[in-house]
Structure 1
Amino acid sequence: MKPAAISRIFVASKSREDRTVSEDTAAVTRIETPIYLKYNFTAGSAPARFLARIREGVLTGQRCPRCANVYIPPRGSCPACGVATEEEVVLPDKGTVQSFTVVAIPIPNNPIKPPFVIANLVLDGANLSFIHLMSECENSEVRIGQRVQAVWKPSSEWTHAMDNIRYFKPIDEPDVPIEKIGKLPLSGWEG
């Protein structure tokens, strides 16, 4: 049996008693194989409004009435307090890198070739991060606290999806101290 190029098969190491066992009959202890799932997402009312607004090129979050945190994308309830969120907040397309990773392995069917950076970004006025692609910089230049702005597709290509934003790029603003990330007002960072 020959494994597929993307699968890995692990064979148990042979004990002294098993040294005569051929490789073909050795026990397979584990197989790693990527699984791809195609599914339909049924949006509730809060995500549906968010997706309708992103189709218009507008980023919105929802504010918790108890703790006042703003979440994007909204889910209709505060993950910290568990109460319903209904107040919508229009957010700018500027934010801050909260964390990031350099992706070094290819992702099947992804046109972006590694290495590339995926970052957890917190938009100004929001308190929760979301993941998006970084570009227009060297991977080694990305850092926590770095200020970024969305680069949008042409509006003729917009759909009801976050990929209306091609990626985020660094902007010429001072870095945000770690303790301030996720606590910036809608007006942004003054440095």
Structure 2
Amino acid sequence: MTSAATSPPPSPPNAARTPLVAPLIVEFPFTRSLGPVQSAFLTGLRESTVLGVRTEDGRVLVPPVEYDPDTAAELRHLVQVGATGTVTTWAWNPEPRRGQPLDTPFAWVLVRLDGADTALLHALDAPGPEAVRTGLRVRIRWAATRTGAITDIVCFEPYDGPPENAGGEHSGTFDDPVTGIVTPARLDYTYAPGRAQSRHLHALAERRIVGERCPRCRKVYVPPRGACPTCGVATTDPVEVGPRGTVTTFCIVNIKAKNLDIEVPYVYAHIALDGADLALHGRIGGIPYDEVRMGLRVEPVWTDDGRYPDHYRPTGEPDADYDAYKELL
């Protein structure tokens, strides 16, 4: 007879797993049109001219805004201010990052340009923090080629001469005005998932989809969040769901995304996996985009390395009845 006590207790799920850490990059181009004030400001930079806007109480705001931040009154009275100014506060940046104005250590400064009542944020090229101080006089260093963007100002540099280019009233009229801009937005960070998401990711590597159940409302969330978004209590009970599911809603994408090798148009959908109470987001493949529909039954197609579903394809089953997924819309 063998005693059960001689057998070691089972290890908890993922007890010996290596913690997951991954570098992540979120990047997209932000495109916006410009109103008359911002258009004049950026077109002015292209012409080596800095414009501010005058408020009803006589203050000059740089950068200019289209509405008074205190009274919400519309502002259109443009004023040319100087290319020289005074540092009002600063912080030293010893390790410049990708996309910052300079690739050598520099100071972030707020500069009140001559003729302005507010300060402009930009970079100051200085040999070290000992060369920077509040009250330091500085001058704009213009880019050799200017396009009508804040980067037309390369940076500021220390200056001990007289004020430059404070011209007073300005019509804001230029030839070929800048009417829109595209600003690249990028966020680089290191992501370390918590307990719930780590268990979910480890299961995906085994081609399983695991969520967690709320102990109070009993809903199953995939991907798990570690806490129920409805009840606010911790979710610790793992539940394997799917892998098949039902398309609840979807959209047709007609614009090709950067670095995404998928021909347009294609479809992204919310998919309610069998046994889950929250629809997840996934691409639909293996079917023409105009045949995707609510209620379509789908299954995952895994990536070549088997780490996660690349997309979902039809299973061939009859469509799900609307009543079976209407609560998940």
TM-score normalised to structure 2 length: 0.47
The residue type equivalent to 1:126 in the other structure is A
- Retained in 1: the 8 A contact 2:297–2:317? yes
The residue number in structure 2 matching 1:10 is 34
From 176, 188, 191, the counterpart of 2:320: 176
1:106-121 matches, within 5 Å, as 106-121=256-271
SS at match of 1:118: strand
1:116-142 Cα deviation digits (max 9, x unpaired): 111111100001011111100010000
- Retained in 2: the 8 A contact 1:124–1:182? no
Unaligned runs of 5+ in 2: 1-28, 41-75, 77-169
SS at match of 2:201: helix
1:26-73 Cα deviation digits (max 9, x unpaired): 475x64535232322221111011111111111101111111110001
After TM superposition, give the deviation of residue 104 of structure 1 in Å.
Answer: 0.6
The residue number in structure 2 matching 1:189 is none
The residue number in structure 2 matching 1:143 is 293
1:1-191 matches, within 5 Å, as 7=31, 9-10=33-34, 12=36, 21-24=173-176, 26=177, 31-154=181-304, 157-159=305-307, 164-181=308-325
Q: Which has the higher contact order (CA 8 A, sep 6+)?
A: 1
**Do the aligned partners of residues 36 and 182 (structure 1) sit closer, same or farther apart at CA in structure 2, a change above 3 Å counting?**
farther
Q: Percent identity, please.
A: 36
C-alpha distance in 2 between matches for 1:46 and 1:35: 30
The residue number in structure 2 matching 1:188 is none
The residue type equivalent to 1:181 in the other structure is Y
Q: How large is the Cα RMSD of the aligned pairs?
A: 2.9
Which structure has the larger Rg?
2
The residue type equivalent to 1:73 in the other structure is P
Unaligned runs of 5+ in 1: 185-191
After TM superposition, give the deviation of residue 91 of structure 1 in Å.
Answer: 1.2
The residue type equivalent to 1:180 in the other structure is A
Structure 1 or 2: more strand by fraction:
2
After TM superposition, give the deviation of residue 179 of structure 1 in Å.
Answer: 3.0
C-alpha distance in 2 between matches for 1:23 and 1:105: 33
The residue type equivalent to 1:22 in the other structure is F
SS at match of 1:51: helix
C-alpha distance in 1 between matches for 2:172 and 2:240: 69
Paired residues, what number?
Answer: 170
C-alpha distance in 1 between matches for 2:172 and 2:209: 65
C-alpha distance in 1 between matches for 2:245 and 2:323: 15
SS at match of 2:187: coil
